[in-house]
């Protein structure tokens, strides 16, 4: 699959579990994003990375921990989540932050917290 | 920071009719306004965008208009078809600031 890929596509975890979401982009982009999509907030920005540096943390609880080892990979580490964290987590990338770039989204990870 | 409001939240139109979705933004310095379409079970994808130096842009059946004075922009879809059914998101961006999305409009085309 080309473009932006995400694994796993579905994840069910208990509140005491630790899991990680992975995102990979094959587009040579420099900026990567994590979004949370739920019925209450359809497209909520969580984190932004530009050239591997975090430039935005949109007041996200510490139970979500992002990691960006290089411009092609982005992780979201999850621990002690709450049922209200159940949502679709979308990764996106763009060539850069400035210059009005299109964001390319991945297919998302459907997360269910039990 | 930027705040983008989008209306309506749901919209149903008869096939063949036109659909209009409106968004307002708060930061007069915002200069880039894209529209994304998300079909059921799929990822959001850019369908059209407009920059602040342009008042209108068209691409086949879709068009976007921008009123900088009033700080609002709209998506127009003409001759709607069943495949236009989706959730549409507007967004605004200033320079290298983050892209701020609206809350989405669920458009349903009635055959």
Query: Where is average pLDDT lowest: A79-83, A109-113, B20-24, B94-98?
Result: B94-98
DSSP conformation class of A102: P
Q: Which residues of B touch A42 (CB under 8 A)?
A: 87, 89, 101, 103-104
Using an 8 Å Cβ cutoff, are B32 and B49 in contact? yes
d(CA B16, CA A65): 47
Per-residue pLDDT tens digits for A6-22: 999 999 999 989 999 99
Q: Between residues 47 and 106 of chain A, which touch chain B (CB distance below 8 Å)?
A: 48, 56, 58, 90, 96-100, 102-103, 105-106
pLDDT at residue A97 greater than cutoff 90: no
pLDDT at residue B95 greater than cutoff 90: no
> Which of B53, B54, B96 should we substitute to test contact with A (largest number of A Cβ atoms within 10 Å)?
B96
Q: Do A107 and B87 touch (CB under 8 A)?
A: no
pLDDT at residue B98 greater than cutoff 90: no
pLDDT at residue A1 greater than cutoff 70: no
Measured in whole angstroms, the distance separating CA A81 from the mean position of its chain's CA atoms is: 15
**Which has more confidence, B66 or B54?**
B66
> Which of B86, B98, B100, B105 should we substitute to test contact with A (largest number of A Cβ atoms within 10 Å)?
B98
Q: How many CB pairs under 8 A join A and B?
A: 46
- Percent of chain A surpassing pLDDT 90: 76
| Nearest chain A residue (CA) to B31 | A100
Q: Is B47 left (phi over 0), alpha (psi -120 to 50) or beta?
A: alpha
Quick one: pLDDT at residue A55?
A: 85
Facing residue for A105 by CB, picked from B44, B87, B97: B44
pLDDT at residue B1 greater than cutoff 80: no
Quick one: pLDDT at residue A54?
A: 86
Structure token pair of residue B85: 């059914």
Quick one: pLDDT at residue B34?
A: 96
Please tell me whether residue B19 adopts helix, strand or coil conformation.
strand
Q: Write the burial class of residue A53 (CB in 10 Å: 0-12 exposed, 13-18 middle, 19+ buried).
A: exposed
Chain B contact residues (CB < 8 Å to A):
31-32, 34, 36, 42-46, 49, 51, 87, 89, 93, 95-101, 103-104
pLDDT at residue B43 greater than cutoff 70: yes
Please tell me whether residue A74 adopts helix, strand or coil conformation.
strand
Quick one: pLDDT at residue A98?
A: 67
């Amino acid at each position: 699959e080309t473009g932006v890929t995400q694994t796993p596509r579905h994840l069910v975890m208990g509140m005491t579990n630790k899991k990680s979401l992975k995102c990979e982009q094959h587009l040579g982009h420099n900026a990567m994003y994590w979004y949370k999509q739920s019925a209450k907030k359809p497209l909520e920005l969580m984190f932004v990375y530009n050239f591997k540096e975090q430039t935005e943390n949109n007041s996200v609880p510490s139970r979500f921990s992002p990691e960006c080892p290089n411009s092609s990979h982005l992780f979201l580490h999850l621990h002690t989540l709450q049922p209200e964290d159940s949502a679709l987590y979308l990764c996106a990338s763009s060539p850069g932050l400035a210059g009005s770039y299109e964001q390319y989204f991945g297919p998302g990870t459907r997360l269910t917290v039990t | 920071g930027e705040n983008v409001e989008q209306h309506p939240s749901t919209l149903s139109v008869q096939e063949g009719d036109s659909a209009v979705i409106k968004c307002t933004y708060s930061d007069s310095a915002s200069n880039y306004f894209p529209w994304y379409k998300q079909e059921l079970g799929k990822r959001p994808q850019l369908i059209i965008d407009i920059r602040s130096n342009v008042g209108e842009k068209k691409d086949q059946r879709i068009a976007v208009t921008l009123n900088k004075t009033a700080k609002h922009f709209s998506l127009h879809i003409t001759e709607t078809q069943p495949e236009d059914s989706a959730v549409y998101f507007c967004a605004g961006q200033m320079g290298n600031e983050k892209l701020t999305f609206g809350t989405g409009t669920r458009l349903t085309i009635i055959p």
